[in-house]
Amino acid sequence: MTAVPLRVAILGAGNVGREVVRAFVEWPERLQTDGGPGLELVGIAVRDVDAARRRGLPSELLMDAPAHLVADPDTDVIVELMGGDEPAHTLVAAALGAGKSVVTANKHVIAHHGPELEATARRSGTALRFEAAVGGGIPILGPLAAELAANRVTAIRGIVNGTTNYILTAMTDEGCGYNEALAAAQAAGYAEADPAGDVEGHDAVNKLVILARLAFGSWIDPADVTTSGAMDGPGGGRPGITGVTSREVAAAAADVMVIKLIASAQRSGQRIAASVVATLVGRDTPLGRTAGVTNRIEIDAEPLGTVAFSGPGAGGAATSSAVLGDLLAIARGAGSTWAGLPFAGRLARLTR
């Protein structure tokens, strides 16, 4: 047992990063482990140091060179909360290669570079944890890897993108059209100025790929996941929810159904079938009743049966819970999110 705390550097201080910093400043007692080392925040890399200072982040920790924090021999754990592909991917890979543990909420980097990052982390014997990448603060990846480890998971399905669910809920409850609902979501801060990543299904695909890694032991290529439904189904064959019309929503309601963007993966013999498509579900089913930015993930497993996890799937405070839990896990010596599971390479082919 060492009393020397692990030195933590945070890359990115947006919605999630700010809440992680707040925990270090306001509730340091919650970041203690029993017997293990503590956690000490030693640096925060942001794009604009002055702006971050004005938002109240601790001046003495701010800097604008994330690569320096990764290379610095005085950091032990890197928390990557920049999002997007580069430079996040290179920084995560460099940290793992240098033997530093990494916590990230970056679903894109994990889904698109997972096989390479897993190989690097295993080779260097460091921990890569990413509970925050799926379902915000809902515990889901850890339970798949630990409590459910003895099961054979047969299927996963869920609502894992809050933006699209907010838009579909608005179209259903308020009868507005897709463009109007999208604009409302943007005004409320639930959709980005360029909403393609959410509304075309890519964000949900990334989360499904990560869920499938834990549930099925293989990395699916995100490009192999179907994002367009049937031409005669909801959305008329267009990707994600971009083709969903108010007429389709009304027709569904007449049948006591709602349209939801359902991420789904199931075993099909030796293969895995995976899709993220606008889908008709019963209005009074648990998925049909999942409204707004709530997420819900259902797991079918043997011998367990079906279990479901629901809660706030996005938001800085909720997501910080998962990042902080991963930091505590590293302080407890828990290893990577997949610790205990066999190495997973890229799945060669995918059944659509």
Residues marked as catalytic: 207
Q: 149-178: which residues touch its own copies (CB under 8 A)?
A: 149-152
Residue 278, interface with its own copies (CB under 8 A)?
no
Binding segment for its own copies among 46-54, 197-205, 238-246, 325-333 (CB under 8 A)? 325-333
Beta carbon of residue 336, minimum distance to its own copies (angstroms, whole number): 10
> Could you write out the three-class secondary structure of 163-189?
HHHHHHHHHHHHCCCHHHHHHHHHHCC
The answer to whether the peptide bond before residue 73 is cis (omega within 30 degrees of 0) is: no
CA atoms within 13 A on the CB side of 82: 25
CA atoms within 13 A on the CB side of 345: 2
Residue 341, interface with its own copies (CB under 8 A)?
yes
Binding segment for its own copies among 84-92, 207-215, 229-237, 331-339 (CB under 8 A)? 331-339
Do residues 209 and 225 touch, judged by C-beta distance below 8 A?
A: yes
Beta carbon of residue 232, minimum distance to its own copies (angstroms, whole number): 32
Beta carbon of residue 291, minimum distance to its own copies (angstroms, whole number): 12
CA–CA gap between residue 283 and residue 123 (Å, rounded): 48
CA–CA gap between residue 243 and residue 53 (Å, rounded): 43
What order do you get walking across the sheet with 101-104 strand by strand? 62-63, 39-45, 6-11, 77-80, 101-104, 128-129
Residue 315, interface with its own copies (CB under 8 A)?
yes
Q: Which one of residues 95, 257, 261, 327 is an interface residue with its own copies (CB under 8 A)?
A: 327
Beta carbon of residue 169, minimum distance to its own copies (angstroms, whole number): 16
Residue 135 or 235: the one with the smaller Cβ distance to its own copies is 135
Q: Which one of residues 73, 189, 269, 342 is an interface residue with its own copies (CB under 8 A)?
A: 342
| Site size toward its own copies, by CB under 8 A | 52
CA–CA gap between residue 46 and residue 68 (Å, rounded): 12
Residue 137, interface with its own copies (CB under 8 A)?
yes
| Length of the chain measured in residues | 352
Element (H, E) at 296: strand 294-302
Residue 149 or 250: the one with the smaller Cβ distance to its own copies is 149
Which pair of tokens denotes residue 8? 């933590």
Q: 15-34: which residues touch its own copies (CB under 8 A)?
A: 19, 23, 27, 30-31, 33-34
Residues that bind its own copies (CB under 8 A): 19, 23, 27, 30-31, 33-34, 36, 131, 137-139, 142-143, 146-152, 286, 301-312, 315, 317-318, 320-322, 324-325, 327-329, 332, 334, 339-343
